[in-house]
Amino acid sequence: MSTRPPTLRVKRRYLLIRIEPAGTIIDQKALHYAVSDAITSLWGDVVGAVIMSAVVASEGHYVVIRCQRGTEQDLSIALSTITTCGDIPVALRVVAASGTIDSLREKIRRVKTPASESVSPRECTFDKKLFQINQYNGQKIDVIEKGFKNTNRLFLTREDLEEL
Amino acid sequence: MKITDACVYPYPCGDSSVRRMALDAKVLGFDRLVAADTPSGEFYGVEVYTGILIRDTSIRDLINRIKRERNIAAVISVQAGDNGYNRSAINVKGVHILRGLHSADKNAFDHVAARTAADNRVAIDLDLSPFLSGRGFTRQRAIQRYRDILVLEQRYGFPLTLSSHARSILDMRAVREIAGLCSLIGMETPDVEMAFFGVDIITSPPGSSVKVI
């Protein structure tokens, strides 16, 4: 199939999305289904077909989502209604929009500097419960409760742990 | 005027500490949070107000509770009930916000309640959690109720507040995202800005009704 001339091609835009919490590993296919479901649920099939969303790239906890030019706002509203991906609770934060994936990749490299660091398992206590520190990111600390059941993830800061 | 999220639930109600919520709120563009059952303070440049939510009480109990809480500098909210209850609650001195109208009866908030809310400077809260977590009928009903509230707001001019009702940092949304969600109910950018400043309006002392020349 020959490619169309530039004037006849569909103009596309790419959104750079940051996935929170940091360190969450998400299957690209599961994310695509979550995005598609959110768009259909909010805007319906007709607008969904116009948006033509697709997860096109993923780098660490950043993903790039494609849409048709002019539908970025609709897509970002739909993305803000996503609360889970599969069974994993997530939040998708729109960082930037661009006409090329390359410029977003460049942006990832620039933004990435204060990256979150996974730490070797270390324990801490908070509210008289034992937790395992999972993720550090500057002031932010994510901890997971130790145990076999009710292993909740808590989002704290360094000061919360220092205070105890 | 500070951009405010009018209700969040930090730990132990939610899974994020108030400091972490404040830290993330700053990144998301907020200047202030109203945190339920949390002492007020300032963390990472974000002001935190104590929020008290009163629900499932009679009007008499509501008045007694507000008398007890009068000395605490807090934002007092009341969960909406039926029409009679809402009209009475709005008339109680010390009530700042009426919440939960998206899940109340269709006629729970009418033009009489709207006029009283404007006179008493009681804000009506637009809870955005049904937009995020709700699907189908739940979300449609919330959109319908909020559109109806906005019609009354444009006529009577009572204050509005916006809240995420976040129990986790993952439920919090950026100011721009909230503006996008508010566009679903027909709010323009200036309306959203005014709603973000709603807590300022209800907590500032009322201006004198008589102007001395």
Asked whether the beta carbons of residue B44 and residue A139 sit closer than 8 angstroms, the reply is yes
Task: Yes or no: say if A155 and B27 are a contact pair by the CB < 8 Å rule.
Answer: no
B45: left (phi over 0), alpha (psi -120 to 50) or beta: left
Question: To 10 degrees, the CA torsion angle through B3, B163, A87, B185?
Answer: -100
**Nearest partner of A145 among A127, A160, A130, A126, judged by Cα:** A130
Query: What number of other Cβ atoms are within 10 A of residue B56's Cβ?
Result: 7
pLDDT at A43 over 80: yes
Q: Does A118 touch chain B (CB under 8 A)?
A: no
Distance from CA of A127 to the nearest CA of B (A): 9
Q: How many residues does chain A have?
A: 164
Tell me which amino acid residue B211 is: K
- For the stretch A65-78, pLDDT in tens is 999 999 999 999 99
pLDDT at A162 over 80: no
pLDDT at A151 over 80: no
Beta-sheet pairing, A140-145 with A54-59: unpaired
Chain A residues close to B19, C-beta within 8 Å: 156-157, 159-160
pLDDT at A150 over 70: no
Asked whether the beta carbons of residue B172 and residue A80 sit closer than 8 angstroms, the reply is no
Reported for B55-64, long-range contacts at CB under 8 A and 24+ positions apart, including other chains, are B55/B79, B55/B100, B59/B85, B59/B88, B59/B89, B59/B92, B62/B89, B62/B92, B62/B95, B63/B92
What is the percent of chain B where pLDDT is above 70? Answer: 98
Query: What number of other Cβ atoms are within 10 A of residue B70's Cβ?
Result: 12
pLDDT at A134 over 90: no
User: How many degrees, rounded to 5, is the angle at CA A10 between CA A49 and CA A64?
Assistant: 70
Q: Residue A40: what pLDDT?
A: 95
Q: What is the mean pLDDT of residues B74-81?
A: 92
Asked whether the beta carbons of residue A80 and residue B183 sit closer than 8 angstroms, the reply is no
Residue A69, SS3 per DSSP: coil
Q: Does A41 touch chain B (CB under 8 A)?
A: yes
What CA–CA distances, in Å, run from B196 to A126, B123, B145, B146?
33, 11, 19, 16
Task: Yes or no: say if B113 and B87 are a contact pair by the CB < 8 Å rule.
Answer: yes
Q: Residue B119: what pLDDT?
A: 92
Q: What is the mean pLDDT of residues B123-132?
A: 94
Q: Residue B174: what pLDDT?
A: 95
Q: Residue A109: what pLDDT?
A: 86
- For the stretch B129-184, pLDDT in tens is 999 988 889 999 999 999 999 999 999 999 999 999 999 999 999 999 999 999 99
Distance from CA of B72 to the nearest CA of A (A): 24
Q: What is the mean pLDDT of residues B76-102?
A: 93
pLDDT at A116 over 70: no
**Nearest partner of A41 among A14, A69, A81, A94, judged by Cα:** A81
Q: Residue A114: what pLDDT?
A: 54
Residue A117 — pLDDT band, cuts 50, 70, 90?
low
Task: Yes or no: say if B201 and B118 are a contact pair by the CB < 8 Å rule.
Answer: no
- For the stretch A12-39, pLDDT in tens is 999 999 998 888 888 899 999 999 999 9
ipTM of the complex: 0.88
Q: What is the mean pLDDT of residues A41-69?
A: 93
Task: Yes or no: say if A53 and A68 are a contact pair by the CB < 8 Å rule.
Answer: no
Q: Residue B45: what pLDDT?
A: 92
Least confident span in A116-120, B3-7, B19-23, B33-37: A116-120
* Letter string b/e over residues A121-139, b meaning 16 or more CB atoms within 10 A of that residue's CB: eeebebeeeebbbbbbeee
Tell me which amino acid residue B198 is: G
Q: What is the mean pLDDT of residues B80-88?
A: 92
Distance from CA of A10 to the nearest CA of B (A): 25
> Two tokens at B124?
């009506």
pLDDT at A118 over 70: no
Which of B26, B171, B172, B177 should one mutate to test binding to chain A, selecting the residue with the greatest count of A CBs within 10 A? B177
Residue A6 — pLDDT band, cuts 50, 70, 90?
confident
Q: Does B131 touch chain A (CB under 8 A)?
A: yes
pLDDT, chain B, mean: 91
Q: For residue A47, what is the DSSP state?
A: H
Contacts of B19 (CB under 8 A, 6+ apart): A156, A157, A159, A160, B43, B44
Q: Residue A130: what pLDDT?
A: 80
